[in-house]
Amino acid sequence: MAEFDIQPAPVLFEERRTSSGQHVAIATLNAEKSLNALTLDMVRALSSKLTQWAQDERIACVVLRGAGEKALCAGGDVRSLRESILAHRGKVAPNPYAQAFFSEEYRLDFQIHTYRKPILVWGSGIVMGGGLGLLAGASHRVVTETSRIAMPEISIGLFPDVGGSWFLPRMPHRAGLFLALTGASINGADACYLGLADYFLRASDYAIVLKRLDAGDWSNDSDANHAVLSRLLHALAGDAVSIRPPSNVRLHADEIAQLTDAPTLAEVVTRITGYTGDAAWMKKAAATLAGGSPTTAALIWTLRQRARHLSLADVFRLELVVALQCCEHPDFAEGVRVVLIDKDNRPQWTPARLQDVTPGWVEEHFAAPWSAWANEANPLDSLGRTTSLDRGTER
């Protein structure tokens, strides 16, 4: 008899009947060994189920978490993206796999931002890149003492996407610009201070949360269910005050504001990389920027300017263009090689210096890769045009 290699489901789904008769739906990213790195299969499974649950009157609340205790999601599956980039070299843009991955990932992120029913995202452990895209738009965002959050794209030649061009500029004291340029890791207290999280709980509280969800006074009223979940989480937050770590961003807010207060990218980079203080967190941030992709730094700066007055949907459309162009330019594949493949810490960036990044080079990254003669369009053109599931485009 032939043996078959049965692959585990990319996302596990559960529906729990509560004492009030409604159901709480739970989605678990199921790739513990890879720290729940987000794959295209995960994106598709999760998006499909969210659509189904949105239309199911039995479902009062949705919970999204990662398998295991180490991570919600350590980012997108950039290894597969790099393989597709190498396989697509020399061919007409855009890369089909990259287009599918980024467009469907961004559509999922937008779906979470605009979901009518309450979504609790359990952001315990590592939450990076694509994982932050899942957390940032949820109605109820929980972090814990184990949360480690970052947008480390400066080190892999991409840029803080998944809506980063929307939520990073909305942080106080230009902290979002600092975090984007340095890839600095932040903790749960930082996330609450910056508006990336709503509740700080203990990592061990997840089981208690489930029990209280089971006993919640749920109904068919979405607004009322948002309030039920808020009260439940607020009641638990007080128990975690004693283990809440100090916020590095809050501690260094004045320094961050001063270092990023300059009219040009070159001046900001010079100030950050020239940091002479004693704080280890700030030193690491400065060193990461110094070794990061100059092109990524330029994209971060330009996106901050161009996305300033855009809607959330328009931000995702813009980010899709830039992400696909990053797949056609050298630094993304090179950064993934350095960080995840060879791990040699010797990136060969193109260009190697910030002063050699020309306006024309940056502009190439904002050119839509779709062929006009083929009548192709941005796959996210319809995003935000319908409102059947929307709760609005701003949190």
Give the residue numbers marked as catalytic.
Answer: 76, 130, 153, 161
Cβ contacts of residue 68 below 8 Å, gap of 6+? 32, 36, 125
CA dist., res. 285 & res. 100, Å (int):
32
Please state the three-class secondary structure of 181-250 as a single string: HHCCCECHHHHHHHCCCCEECCHHHHHHHHHHHHCCCCCCCHHHHHHHHHHHHHHHHHHHHHHCCCCHHH
CA dist., res. 193 & res. 347, Å (int):
33
Is there a contact between 347 and 335 (Cβ–Cβ < 8 Å)?
A: yes
CA dist., res. 277 & res. 212, Å (int):
46
In 10 A of CB 373, how many CB atoms?
5
CA dihedral of residues 53, 233, 223, 103 (deg, nearest 10): -50
Residue 359 structure tokens = 């306006």
Adjacent-strand bridge partners of 140 = 120
Residue 244 structure tokens = 């809440």
Vertex 53 angle, CA 52 and 55, to 5°: 70
For residue 388, CA distances in Å to 25, 29, 55, 115, 391 come to 20, 26, 10, 9, 9
Check whether the bond before 379 is cis (ω within 30° of 0): no
Is there a contact between 135 and 123 (Cβ–Cβ < 8 Å)?
A: yes
